[in-house]
Amino acid sequence: MASSFSSSLASNANIMLLVLLLASSLMAAFASNFYQDFNLTFGDGRAQIVNNGELLTLSLDKYSGSGFKSKNEYLFGKIDMQLKLVPGNSAGTVTAYYLSSLGPTWDEIDFEFLGNLSGDPYILHTNVFSQGKGNREQQFYLWFDPTKNFHTYSILWNPQVIIFYVDGTPIRKFKNLESIGVPFPKNQPMRIYSSLWNADNWATRGGLVKTDWTQAPFTASYSNFNANACVWSSGSSSCTSKSPSSLANNAWLTQDLDSTSRWRLRWVQKNYMIYNYCTDLKRFPQGLPPECSNTN
């Protein structure tokens, strides 16, 4: 017991040391220009940056989807992006917006929006990968039509917790539970990626509904990217900063849910969650993953 307690203290001390080191080298929040912050990665013209860098659009047709990625890598941050999803009959399409590292033991934090038949709700699919292992899916309906207007989808990622937000409302929390053997993404810097692609073999009703290419091109739009985050410098063991910032301006580094946010999280999960791997006993007949017993 004494050894376990000492290990826990050492782990907590290491996390706080990391927080203090990062706090001295953080960039302040900044309003972004898509030309400055992102590269278009594929699509042969189907991805476009317009309106002097204020708007980015991705399109999908029967020949190709499209995508982009951030120029910077981040190690912890509060990432916000406004999206307006593919309208109408978007069945078979997936709009993915996520953080990811590279390599066989990659880390990843996912938003994926699964298209629908006209009149049916979108499904928001979330997942967390650590050291190449995922299988932590939670899915939600949204309480609004995500195709009519822009809505803000945010990822808070710090050494203690990952929290997914929709318009400032938390929908999911993934805690750092390395103390009970659950890997947590904290050592690998990640880029922001997004893509619009065809996944009609699984995306809508398990692949029963196929993409209607007469509705193409399908288009999703992005605006108002903001990152209050630590920018990783390649080859360096620490983060660098575009502008000096104090710990007080980077409360996200130690942020967790307060009582009001915990109530809002419970409201979303009670009323809009449609799948939770932590309740899927058929999928895990030998017992649920260990983090499922510690979700506060």
Neighbours of 158 (CB within 10 A): 24
Write down the pLDDT at residue 3.
45
Write down the pLDDT at residue 27.
41
8 A C-beta contact, residue 151 and residue 166 = yes
Quick check: is 178 catalytic?
Answer: no
Give CA angle at 187 (96, 230), nearest 5°: 70
Burial 52-79 (b: 16+ CB within 10 A, else e): eebbbbbbbeeebbbbbbbebbbbbbbb
**Which residue among 54, 73, 108, 178 is the active-site one?**
108
Radius of gyration, alpha carbons of the chain: 19
Quick check: is 112 catalytic?
Answer: yes
Distance in angstroms (rounded) separating the CA atoms of residues 99 and 177 = 20
Q: Phi first, then psi: what are they for 214, rounded to 5°? A: -70, -15
**Which residue among 54, 73, 112, 137 is the active-site one?**
112
8 A C-beta contact, residue 164 and residue 155 = yes
Residue 172 lies in domain: 2-293
How many domains, the chain?
1
pTM of the model: 0.86
Distance in angstroms (rounded) separating the CA atoms of residues 172 and 158 = 14
Write down the pLDDT at residue 46.
98
Neighbours of 190 (CB within 10 A): 25
CATH number at residue 10: 2.60.120.200
Write down the pLDDT at residue 296.
59
pLDDT in tens, the chain (296 residues): 444 434 444 444 454 444 444 443 344 344 569 999 999 999 999 999 999 999 999 999 999 999 999 999 999 999 999 999 999 999 999 999 999 999 999 999 999 999 998 888 999 999 999 999 999 999 999 999 999 999 999 999 999 999 999 999 999 999 999 999 999 999 999 999 999 999 888 777 777 788 999 999 999 999 999 999 888 887 653 444 444 443 446 788 899 999 999 999 999 999 999 999 999 999 999 999 999 987 65
